[in-house]
Structure 1
Amino acid sequence: MSFNPDELEAPKWVNSNFLKEVLQYNGDLKNVTINDFHISPATALGDHFASIMFRAKIKFSTQEHSNRERSIIIKTLPVVDGVKKDMLGKSEVDFFGTEMFMYSNVLSECGKILRKSGYNDLLAPKMIYQSSEPQKTIVFEDLKELGYFMFPKIIPNENDTKLIFSKLGQYHAAAFKLAAEGTKGLNRKGGLFNLGSMEMLNMFRDQLSFFKELVETLPGFEEASEKLSKITLDKVFEKCRQAVNAPGSYEVLNHGDYHIKNMMFKGKNGTDVSEIVLVDFQICHWGSPAYDVVYMSAVIPPNMRSEAYKHYFDTFIDVLKKSDYDGPLPTFEQLQKDLKSYRCLELFFLATFTSFLCADKAQIKDDLDTLFTNSNLFKAFYHQPTYISYVKKLLPALLQDGVLDDVINSD
């Protein structure tokens, strides 16, 4: 397995004193002595971008037990100069502040609502430590030790898709109920389209160009290619930004970065998925649930999307009914209305993220910092058969439904 270069060596402050502080943080353990520890990268190339993460395997003693072991995941800000560090430093979004708020005030309460509704699977990992000074740091239980693994395939099948959208429905419903009960601080404007200056997003300009170049080569796509030539990144990005920040027909606290790499899975033989846990709540966004639904759809085959959306919504309503929510219930028609207004996001994701998310892991030989600064390396993802098949299926529908025209004619 290859790792991100900025995660090959942990910061010097990740030492025995820090690990002792972590283990004693919640008061369950006292008088801890660190006997030994081993630090390693926690994720593989391409698995995440907006942080650095390490796995610490710790051998320690307490007054009651002389030989104990624990594995933890340490998440903190990048320290190596590059795109990742610059993006987090310039962003208007407080990534770590948002995630600390979510784990401290939201996710545990969501878990209680879901268990009361009969949904007993783990929603998110347990946070065991957090600190804003001197370093912004969050420490989690190690899901790998609990039997979870990263998604073992490239494209979700029907069973995977059902589980993924069911989990989204569960989370959205629980957060929706918290908001109805008056929980404060949920009205956050995060997500990709609220990160700040477009200078931070120049990496998408080359990707849009690669997309246009590909479409030019596809027989029968001449009309789409002609219209794409009139679409700039600034134009489609602004159209998306307006859509996600407009009031939704009903609103939830979106995960904000709901894709396959921000989940871990459990199942037989490490391949047959039966359970999902969500991670990385750094850019949560208050708005229409269509945001998370369309975001995840970037790697869902178009012919599977309608059924997935209905399953998502049915789960959402089921949780609300079983949790004794007594307010007005949203309707599927409301969701469909918002999904229609979010079609510009489908175009944006198809032209950018989908090419990378469809890539076989064996193809990802460089860290994201390198990929986003070397356009020639990223261009290879636009020639994959899996990705090209997505373009051939989805782009004609976007063209027919007037999505390209809407972007061209937008202010």
Structure 2
Amino acid sequence: MSFNADELEAPEWINSNFFRKALEYNGDLANVTINDFHISPATAIGDHFASIMFRVKIVQGIKKDVLGQLDVDLFATEIFMYSEVLNECGKILKNAGYNSLLAAKMIYQSTEPQKVIVFEDLKELGYFMFPRIIPTEKDTELIFSKLGQYHAATFKLAAEGHKDLKRKGGVFNLGDMDNLGFFRDTFSFFKELVETLPGFEEASEKLSKISFDKIVNKCRQIVNAPGTYEVLNHGDYYIKNMMFKGKNGIDLSEIVMVDFQICHWGSPSFDVVYTSALIPPSMRPKAYKLYFDTFIDVLKKSDYNGSLPTFEQLQKDLKSYRSLDLFFLATISSFLCADKNKMKDDIEALLKNTNLFKTFYSQSTYISYVKELLPRLLQEGILDDIINSD
């Protein structure tokens, strides 16, 4: 199966009347007649989790059951971002000379009788999903440059007094992490993997003293502490929440951000570390510097008049966020490294049986990440810091 099982058939309420209402919503079109339409899945297996995509975003099935237990209103956050934030960010970036699309245009939204958002069709604009598993150095530059642009725009918005930006989101502010049980299970799979790696006996011994609850509490404290400077983090900025343009669908040149559902006000280190979960550790220092240089360039070119953050401030925050490096390495990195063309199960199946995630921990690419990053975290005392935390 090439597509997620829950995306093969659209709900009955997505019909010609709904499409007419959506197309006429913003006033660009009137008296629309729908002669015919075709609905098809918008994402392949492994490409998406939080929403079911048909070109119209909806949520149902087990995904709805999982998301319904969370402490945040994902839909309300996304409406807020597309209605009040992203257009303003786009204006700031264009004034600074950054003309590529930041996010899809929202053309319709409603909360009753169903929660739904209709976006401009990015596929028709030439955008596609990431064509590889692991980003190249050029891909990494594109990803972090875009993040720097977005962060700078939100930083400037806040300095200008934009309201309601200071919301807490991200994975550590979704409520009880047991509602996202795959995190607990995958952390156990990670510890089991490290036990089998020759030369990692010290790391394995220390990991045995770190419970899932302990590392989650440590990470939650870090992300909710004030940063040396703060932005509105995307909160879920990873490769499958981006779409790309590029020559022959391979040589990437543009990126657009999607899924602004768990945005988080805090240190930019949250997005930077989260995004790094799929970036080879050797590429990260250069990517971080490019990210920050882009951030400053946007501010300078957009007539920002306040004091500018420094790279040293970012480095200080990144150092304090090293516990998140361990958490993401142990949990989401294994899944992100998976070759979706070889995945046998869709997201719904994985959520029903988290033991299926175990296969991701035998991938050579992922194991090489562990072998490169875990010794650094051990040497820096990050595991001891978590063990000794309250």
Q: TM-score range by the shorter chain?
A: over 0.9
Tell me, yes or no, if structure 1 residue 96 matches structure 2 residue 75: yes
Determine the structure 1 residue equivalent to 2:317: 338
State yes or no: 1:188 paired with 2:167.
Answer: yes
Give SS of 1:33's match.
coil
Corresponding position of 2:202: 223
In structure 2, the residue matched to 1:15 is: 15
Aligned partners of 2:355, 2:241: CA distance in 1, in Å? Answer: 26
- What's the counterpart of residue 229 of structure 2? 250
1:356 matches 2:335: yes
Cα distance between partner residues in 2 of 1:158 and 1:50: 28
Counterpart position of 2:58: 76
- Secondary structure (helix, strand or coil) at the match of 2:35 reads strand
Give the letter aligned to residue 76 of structure 1: I
Q: C-alpha distance in 1, partners of 2:298/2:375? A: 36
In 2: Cα distance, 1:209 partner to 1:50 partner: 23
Distance in structure 1 (CA, Å) of the matches to 2:302 and 2:277: 31
| More strand per residue | 1
1:284 paired to 2:263: yes
Please tell me the residue identity of whatever aligns with 2:56.
I
Deviation (angstroms), 1:373: 2.9
For the residues of structure 2 that align with 1:199 and 1:214, how far apart are their CA atoms?
22
Secondary structure, counterpart of 2:38 in structure 1: strand
- Does structure 2 conserve the Cα–Cα contact (< 8 Å) formed by 1:2 and 1:365? no
Distance in 1 (alpha carbons) for counterparts of 2:10 and 2:74 = 20
1:138-217, aligned counterparts within 5 Å?
138-217=117-196
Partner of 1:294: 273
Give 1:42's aligned amino acid: A
Q: Is the 8 A contact 2:177 2:183 kept in 1?
A: no
* 1:203-259 Cα shifts (integer Å, max 9, x gaps): 222211111111111111000000011111111111111111111100000000010
Distance across 1 between alignment mates of 2:321 and 2:342:
31
Q: 1:365 Cα deviation (Å)?
A: 2.1
CA distance in 1, matches of 2:111, 2:104: 20
Corresponding residue number in structure 2 for 1:47:
47
1:111 and 1:198 map into 2 onto residues whose CA distance is 34
Task: Give the C-alpha shift of residue 312 in structure 1.
Answer: 0.2
Contact 2:178–2:184 (Cα < 8 Å) also in 1:
no
The runs of 5 or more residues in structure 1 that have no matched partner are: 55-72
Q: Which residue of 1 aligns with 2:37?
A: 37
AA aligned opposite 1:305: R
User: How far is 1:198 from its partner?
Assistant: 2.6
> Counterparts of 2:305 and 2:265 in 1: how far apart (Å)?
21
Shift of 1:46: 1.4
CA distance in 2, matches of 1:292, 1:337: 15
Amino acid at match of 1:325: Y
Counterpart CA distance in 1 for 2:92 and 2:157 is 9
How many equivalent pairs are there?
390
Give the secondary structure class of the aligned counterpart of 1:208. Answer: helix
Letter in 1 for 2:41: P
**Does 2:258 align with 1:261?**
no
Encode CA deviations 1:139-182: one digit per residue, 9 max, x unaligned: 00111111111000111111110110000000000111011111
- Preserved contact between residue 251 and residue 287 of structure 1 (Cα < 8 Å): yes
Residues 42-74 of structure 1, C-alpha deviations (whole Å, 9 max, x = no match): 1111111112111xxxxxxxxxxxxxxxxxx20
CA distance in 2, matches of 1:47, 1:312: 25
How big is the shift at 1:10?
A: 1.1
- Is it true that 1:400 corresponds to 2:379 in the alignment? yes
How far 1:369 sits from its partner (Å)?
2.2
Paired residues of 1:243 and 1:342 also in contact (CA < 8 A): yes
2:39 alignment partner, SS class: strand
Kept after mapping to 1: 8 A contact 2:51/2:58:
yes
Match of 1:325 among 287, 304, 323: 304
Q: 1:173–1:317: 8 Å Cα contact kept in structure 2?
A: yes
Shift of 1:324: 0.1
CA–CA separation in structure 1 for the residues paired with 2:76 and 2:380? 40
**How far apart are the structure 2 equivalents of 1:210 and 1:31?**
56
Q: Provide TM-score, normalisation by structure 2.
A: 0.98
Unmatched tracts of structure 2, length 5 or more: none
**Aligned partner (choices 355, 363, 385) of residue 376 of structure 1:** 355
Q: Hey, which bits of structure 1, 4+ residues long, moved more than 6 A?
A: none
> Deviation of residue 307 (structure 1)?
0.6
- The residue type paired with residue 139 of structure 2 is D
What is the one-letter code of the residue matched to 2:58? Answer: T
Q: Is the 8 A contact 1:372 1:378 kept in 2?
A: no
Measure, in 2, the Cα distance between the counterparts of 1:320 and 1:345: 28
Counterpart residue type for residue 35 of structure 1: N
Match of 1:391 in 2: 370
SS of equivalent residue, structure 1 residue 38: coil
